[in-house]
Structure 1
Amino acid sequence: MSEHNEEQPLNLDIPNHLEYSDDHVWVDLADGELAVVGITEYAAEQFGELVYVDLPEPGGHVDAGDEIVELESSKAVQPLISPISGTIRYVNRDVADDPSVINGDPYGEGWILKIELDDDEPELLNAEQYAKAVR
């Protein structure tokens, strides 16, 4: 029975233009200077309906591997682990006011932070690698 489940792909949106961490965080490096960070649709589904997002203040520095945001759902409290190092320049206050935005649009309006990169070569997965990791 488990073999059958493994063959069925998860019906998840995994945009090709983003990069991903093993911790289900996406990073959009298209801007070149600021990296937009959020959680993947997979993570949003695993958490369930988010009820609280504890955002850091802009201006703080984070290192890859740091817990930078606390996400609380009806199921659990989960930290968001930064996959990149840099300075937090913007936080999405809309998700603090209404965390369900992340559940509804994790790759768009549900972005969480914008970080000015220290290192422009973070070690991240491409969409295909991430899709294999969550299957």
Structure 2
Amino acid sequence: MSEVVNGLLYSEEHEWVQTLEGDLVRIGITEFAQHQLGDIVFVELPESGTEVSSEDSIGTIESVKTVSDLFAPVSGTVVRVNEQLQDEPELVNSAPYGEGWMIEIKVNDDIKAALAKLMDADAYRAHTAE
């Protein structure tokens, strides 16, 4: 069974969201998602300053098996990108909830309303058990 971290929020498309300070959130893909993809060989992410909308594709994750879209779980502006993934995309496999994070977004709308659309850890566990 894949690790699901308590205290994070999750999208149906298998992204996790960590609230930071104020209206900032950090986003990555779950252990479940990286396990399904296999060995990650390339990650394409939006540039800082890019406006993103919830549920839109904002990049791709390429593995030895397939190429998969990365979806924005919230709307906002990309304020930081994990540049380390350009040289070490395998961090998504080895530390999906740590060094393998992908982007940070400044949420444009009411952050509580934006986060209310996501699942907590228990709901995500049930979602992946289906």
The TM-score normalised by the length of structure 2 is 0.93
- Asked if structure 2 preserves the Cα contact closer than 8 Å seen for 1:101 and 1:109, the reply is yes
- CA distance in structure 1 between the aligned counterparts of 2:12 and 2:6, rounded to whole angstroms: 16
- CA distance in structure 2 between the aligned counterparts of 1:28 and 1:50, rounded to whole angstroms: 22
Flag structure 1 segments of 5+ consecutive residues without an equivalent: 1-10
- Asked if structure 2 preserves the Cα contact closer than 8 Å seen for 1:55 and 1:96, the reply is no
Greater C-alpha radius of gyration: 1
Residue correspondence of structure 1 range 96-135 to structure 2 within 5 A: 96-119=86-109, 120=111, 121-122=113-114, 123-135=117-129
Cα deviation, 1:59-86, whole Å, max 9, x if unaligned, reads: 0100001111210001000010111000
CA root-mean-square deviation: 0.8
Would you say 1:62 and 2:52 are equivalent positions?
yes
User: What amino acid is aligned across from residue 88 of structure 1 in structure 2?
Assistant: V
Residue correspondence of structure 1 range 82-101 to structure 2 within 5 A: 82-101=72-91
User: What amino acid is aligned across from residue 14 of structure 1 in structure 2?
Assistant: V
Flag structure 2 segments of 5+ consecutive residues without an equivalent: none
After the TM superposition, which parts of structure 1 deviate over 6 Å for at least 4 consecutive aligned residues?
none
User: Which secondary structure does the structure 2 equivalent of 1:106 belong to?
Assistant: coil
- CA distance in structure 2 between the aligned counterparts of 1:96 and 1:115, rounded to whole angstroms: 19
The TM-score normalised by the length of structure 1 is 0.90
Tell me which residue corresponds to 1:29.
Answer: 19
- CA distance in structure 1 between the aligned counterparts of 2:54 and 2:30, rounded to whole angstroms: 17
